[in-house]
Homo-oligomer: A and B are copies of this chain.
Amino acid sequence: MVEVPEVVIERLPLYLRALRQLQEEGLEVVSSQQLGERLQMTPAQIRKDLSYFGRFGKQGRGYNVRQLAQVLRTILGLDREWRVAVVGVGRLGRAIISYPGFAPEGFHIVAAFDVDPSLVGRVLDGVEVRPVEEMDTVLPRQGVHIGIVAVPASHAQEVIDRLVACGVRGILNYAPITPQVPEGVTVRTMDPVLVLQAMTYHLKRRVSPGLRVG
């Protein structure tokens, strides 16, 4: 058995999302064909991806929706709670804190930080904003696993360094930089400008590229 390719791991949450949807629609069993239609991908890819982890389907029927969802949650490590801190509570940080999509998936925002004294002390959706100086004490005490960085580009790298120094090993970065982190730390950057800039290449040419989801 080989190492699971990173692309495969990035598709699992997509499958999970579709399965939850199907479950809400009352479907109990789904084929790779049906799932593929929803997700705009080939059935073969879905089957292959799942086969890295085991045999979850039944020939002639398909996959049990609820059961496969549970399997994926376990594989991804979503069968537990993840404690998240948000650094930077400007408009973006506040939108992140109040976004209702994180909690149902087990991501709990337990701390928020900002340099601005006028923001410090405010309570946003039950989370008190603290001065960034307190990161070093609060992060370890709260057992924070993941940091979300929503500060200006000019300060993002230093915030990331500090998070890493505090033992945070997963970082979701919203600043338009390429973060430098040591081995063992997982960073992902979300930058809408990069996405738009690649999009204009296609718009200019009036041809659409393959659908990229996620």
Where the two chains meet, the residues of A that have a C-beta atom closer than 8 Å to any C-beta of B are 6, 9-10, 12-14, 16-18, 38-40, 75-78, 82, 91-92, 94-96, 98-99, 101-102, 105, 107, 145-146, 148, 169-170, 172, 176, 178, 180-181, 183-204, 206-214
Contacts and interface: CB of A to CB of B under 8 A. Distances in A.
Nearest to A5: B209
A140 B199 CA distance: 20
Contacts of A10: 194, 198
A168 B170 CA distance: 36
A105 B197 contact: yes
B98 A200 contact: no
A77 to B, nearest CB: 4
Given A82-B200, A189-B214, A201-B76, A195 B172 contact: yes
Contact of A176 (B101, B107, B180, B197): B101
A102 B200 CA distance: 13
Contacts of A186: 199, 202-203, 208-209
A125 to B, nearest CB: 11
**A107, A145, A170, A198: which has the most chain B beta carbons within 10 Å?**
A198
A177 B207 CA distance: 23
B190 A192 contact: yes
A184 B202 CA distance: 9
A169 B206 contact: yes
A124 to B, nearest CB: 11
Nearest to A96: B192
A196 B105 contact: yes
B207 A184 contact: yes
A178 B38 contact: yes
Contacts of A78: 197, 200
Contact of A198 (B9, B18, B178): B9
A193 B77 contact: no
A13 B198 CA distance: 7
23 contacts: A9-B201, A9-B209, A12-B201, A14-B178, A14-B194, A18-B178, A38-B178, A40-B178, A76-B200, A77-B201, A91-B94, A91-B99, A95-B95, A102-B193, A105-B193, A105-B197, A146-B199, A170-B200, A170-B202, A188-B198, A188-B199, A189-B214, A190-B192
